[in-house]
Amino acid sequence: MFQTEPVRLRTALFPGTFDPFTVGHESLVRRGLSLMDEIVVAIGENEAKKSFFPLDKRLRMIRELYENEPRVRVESYDSLTIEFAQKIGAQYILRGIRSVVDFEYEKTIADMNRTISGIETFVLFTEPALTHVSSSHVRELLRYGYDVSGFVPQRIKL
């Protein structure tokens, strides 16, 4: 009778270095899941950047955090973000914005990605209580031996 089209999941790619994954990142994934069917947290490998945590440890920490959430996958990639998004069938890229400076940067990249690939970027503003949290600040605290437990998800063991 009627032929229905297969249901296509709304998949968003959430790219970053996640060095380490913070409570701000966790908030974006949680809020993004209310809009998407699936979120792929993807760690971009960048040889030019010196990371604090090795890639395998970052993957493990985030996978353990979401082990009971089937709508979140955790991957890594070493290509252009839009190439990876196309490879996994993501229709959207999820990004977070803490400030006007973040906005300018993210808008430029979103415009470029849309022009090249047609993939849309959607942004979520950081929750006000978390605007000061960034991976780079957390890494700096870690380097000097400070307790960062208030800045990373409780289930993540550094």
Q: Write the pLDDT tens digit of every residue in 47-64.
A: 777 899 999 999 999 999
By residue range, what is the domain housing residue 111? 11-143
CA distance 142 to 67: 25
Q: Is the per-residue pLDDT at 1 higher than 70?
A: no
Least trusted range by pLDDT, from 1-5, 41-45, 110-114, 120-124: 1-5
Q: Is 82 part of any domain?
A: yes
Task: Give 126-129's long-range contacts (Cβ < 8 A, gap of 24+).
Answer: 126/24, 126/27, 126/28, 126/96, 126/97, 126/98, 127/24, 127/27
Average pLDDT of the segment spanning 86-99: 97
Residue 133 CB contacts under 8 Å (≥ 6 apart), including other chains: 22, 23, 24, 126, 151
Give Rg (Cα) of the chain: 16
Question: Residue 2 falls within a domain, yes or no?
Answer: no
115 in any annotated domain: yes
Q: Return the pLDDT at 112.
A: 97
Structure-token pair, residue 115: 């022009």
How confident is the model over 127-151, as pLDDT tens digits? 999 999 999 999 999 999 999 999 9
Q: What is the mean pLDDT of residues 124-128?
A: 96
Give mean pLDDT, residues 79-101: 96
Q: Residue 153: inside a domain, yes or no?
A: no
The arithmetic mean of pLDDT across residues 73-84, rounded, is 97
Give domain status of residue 52, yes or no.
Answer: yes
In a domain, 94, yes or no: yes
